[in-house]
Structure 1
Amino acid sequence: MAGGNAIRGSRVGAGPMGEAERGEAAPRVIVSYWCSNGHETKPSFAQEPGMVVPEQWDCPRCGFPAGQDKDNPPAPPKAEPYKTHLAYVKERRSDAEGAVILDEALGALRERGLIK
């Protein structure tokens, strides 16, 4: 045996054991939330004056938003696909505007003698 002073089942710095030493727990309210995948989450909130229970809660299983109405859960967020830089440029400019800008850029390069 390495050390004779160790207390079995405890560790250095461990707090008091049991509820009596910690004081009374605040009164709690448990609220059920459901996501669009049918997962139920039951977080508990302290009952305090003026405390407002959130309308939505993130589902810990799938990450979708969950609401308190089991029959009408919030819709999952719509994920937009990745867009390239060219896709964003095409949203801002028409093909005709792009052709004008390209002609100007090519003209500038020709004047500098970089292209023929």
Structure 2
Amino acid sequence: MSSGSAIRGSRVGSSPMRPDERSEPAPRREVTYWCAAGHPVEVRFAADVVPPETWDCTRCGQPGGLDREKPPGRMRSEPYKSHLAYVKERRSDEDGAAILAEALAKVRQRRGRSE
């Protein structure tokens, strides 16, 4: 009978098992990206993959580029918009007045008053 352990030869809290001595890791290359603040970000890619043009900086969150002398510009932060601001973008004042009048008519009809 088995002991019920799904992973044989390991225990809870053990360190990772060593890779097989006969295997080699896939070939990789390291690419360095630079943000506008001058932070370097080193990313490892597979050797046969074309790296992307930009990569987000892990320190400041700004986009980083491959050229240290000409990094991409800072991202423009959008101002906070409330729910009402988004509604006003989609609807005109006339639409809002019509919707309000319709809703008030329904409320008055439920309460038994008509005006």
> After TM superposition, is the score higher than 0.5?
yes
Residue 30 of structure 1 is matched in structure 2 by: 30
**What stretches of structure 2 of length at least 5 have no aligned partner?**
1-13
SS of alignment partner, residue 111 of structure 2 = coil
1:103 aligns with 2:101: yes
Residue 64 of structure 1 is matched in structure 2 by: 62
Candidates 77, 80, 93, aligned match of 1:79: 77
Equivalent residue letter for 1:43: V
Following TM superposition, by how much is the alpha carbon of 1:67 offset from its aligned partner in structure 2, in angstroms?
A: 0.5
Equivalent residue letter for 1:15: R
Q: Over residues 35-88 of structure 1, what are the superposed CA-to-partner deviations in whole Å (9 max), with x where a residue is unaligned? A: 11111223343434xx21222222121122211122322233333233222112
Residue 15 of structure 1 is matched in structure 2 by: 18
**Matches of 2:15 and 2:66 in 1, distance apart?**
43
**What stretches of structure 1 of length at least 5 have no aligned partner?**
1-10
The number of residue pairs the alignment matches comes to: 101
Equivalent residue letter for 2:43: P
SS of alignment partner, residue 74 of structure 1 = coil
Output the TM-score relative to the length of structure 1: 0.62
Q: Identity percentage over the alignment?
A: 53
Equivalent residue letter for 2:18: G
Question: CA 1:86–1:114 in structure 2 vs 1: closer, same or farther (change >3 Å)?
Answer: farther
